Amino acid sequence: MHRADRQGFVLVAVIGILSLIAALTGSALLALRSSVESVALADEEVALSGLAHAGMSLTAYRLLLEQKPAETLSGQSLPLPGGRFVASIRDEAGLVDLNGSKPELLASVYQASGASGMSPDTFVARLVAWRDEAKGQEEAGKGGSERGGKRPASGRPLRSLDEAASILGLTPRDVRALAHFVTVYNPDGKVNVLSASRAVLEALPGIARPTLEDILARRRNPAPGDVAALKSYLGALGDGIKTEPGPAYRVGITARGRTARAKSVSAVIASGNAELAPFHILEWSE
């Protein structure tokens, strides 16, 4: 092999080796960059999760312990170390309770919601049958506990609208329609007319249009004595309503850090023991 040929061969080999090294280096840098970005995203997710949980705790404290009105906390953008959060709050007493409300109210709400998978009478009949079974099982459980028995698992109060759908045979469309009207966290079954939506108020049996508009007007700009005045003349609607908030609130928290990303969580919270547990989380979703 001539000297020039050998030099050319070596040059080609060197170029090939350098190209391979460059390719490997590039792959390593890409992998490193990907790892760094993944770590950064993971860190940001942890930070956002912490902000969302802190926002939930702060909102629960102000709502349940300081007893701040829900309407003054809902919708505010509040600062936290490392970001901000916005809370949305719904008083569950402003909804009709599947376990506690009267059958006529439940029938009216089913019809008003636009649900159509069954007749309102069928819906109420199935629900009342389940509630009667729950009551019977509770009584049987008490007797059984005295004899060392166990309470049967069936026939208990409904724990969610999704569970009601399975038990009562509600369609997915019915579930979506009823979600804005019913709850399982208002045990006395009475609707708080000061926090109920217009749609829920319109579904109340026996409520007249002037009364509905008066309620909405008074609670938009409440004046001293308005609640007392409402109580005095709302008695005509029966004992299915009230003017006090319930024991539970559905709180949604949207937290934002230093970037455009956001983290949302939702929970149903209720008052607890102020010393041991300031509040209880009855339901949580992310």
pLDDT at site 134: 72
What whole-number distance in Å separates Cα of residue 219 and Cα of residue 221?
A: 5
pLDDT at site 171: 97
Alpha helices in the chain, H assignment, sequence order: 3-60, 70-73, 103-113, 120-146, 161-168, 172-178, 198-203, 209-220, 226-233
pTM, two decimals, is 0.77
All domains in the chain, ordered by first residue = 3-93+248-285 (3.30.1300.30), 101-171 (no CATH)
* Spans in the chain with pLDDT lower than 50: 32, 36-38, 145-153
Tokens 């936290």 found at: 80
pLDDT at site 1: 53
What whole-number distance in Å separates Cα of residue 76 and Cα of residue 78?
A: 6
Is residue 239 within 8 A of residue 190, CB to CB? The reply is yes
pLDDT at site 52: 95
pLDDT at site 11: 52
pLDDT in tens, 151-185: 344 558 999 999 999 999 999 999 999 999 999 99
Rounded to a whole number of angstroms, the distance between the first and last alpha carbons of the chain is 73
